[in-house]
Amino acid sequence: MTDKSAKFGIGAIVKHRLYPFRGVVVDVDPEFDNTDEWYESIPAELRPDKAQPFYHLLAENSDSYYTAYVSQQNLLPDAENGPIGHPDVDEMFDGLDGERYLLRPEAFN
């Protein structure tokens, strides 16, 4: 993959292409920046290319809230655009403005 530009910005609401979860983007790595152990834990046939943006998400599914690290190729815009119920959302964002969350000024690092 040659295009390393991020399709989703901080506050974007996204869903996974294969698995039933959605989340809000809280950080973006221009390319893979996690451990080799994490990468190797992904089944080889599903393992994404490292040379693409990877997103840190506050994620939710029907059972729980968690953080997720997901390649750009596995994310889609979330047409639902409803609020994300993750308990950390209110610490980072001022609320939902249509399709995205508004980052709190104090959340900038």
Domain map (residue ranges) of the chain: 13-103
The residues, ordered by sequence, that sit 6+ positions from 70 with a Cβ below 8 Å of its Cβ are 14, 16, 54, 55, 57
Q: pTM of the predicted model, to two decimals?
A: 0.92
Given this model, what pLDDT does residue 1 score?
Answer: 45
Cα dist from 79 to 4, 7, 61, 103, whole Å: 24, 15, 15, 20
Owner of token pair 């393992």: 47
Q: How far apart are CA 28 and CA 57, in angstroms?
A: 9
Determine the Cα–Cα distance for residues 77 and 91; give it in Å rounded to an integer: 23
Per-residue pLDDT of the chain (109 residues; tens, 9 = 90+): 446 799 999 999 999 999 999 999 999 999 999 999 999 999 999 999 999 999 999 999 999 999 999 999 999 999 887 899 999 999 999 999 988 999 998 876 6
In this prediction, residue 105 carries a pLDDT of 87
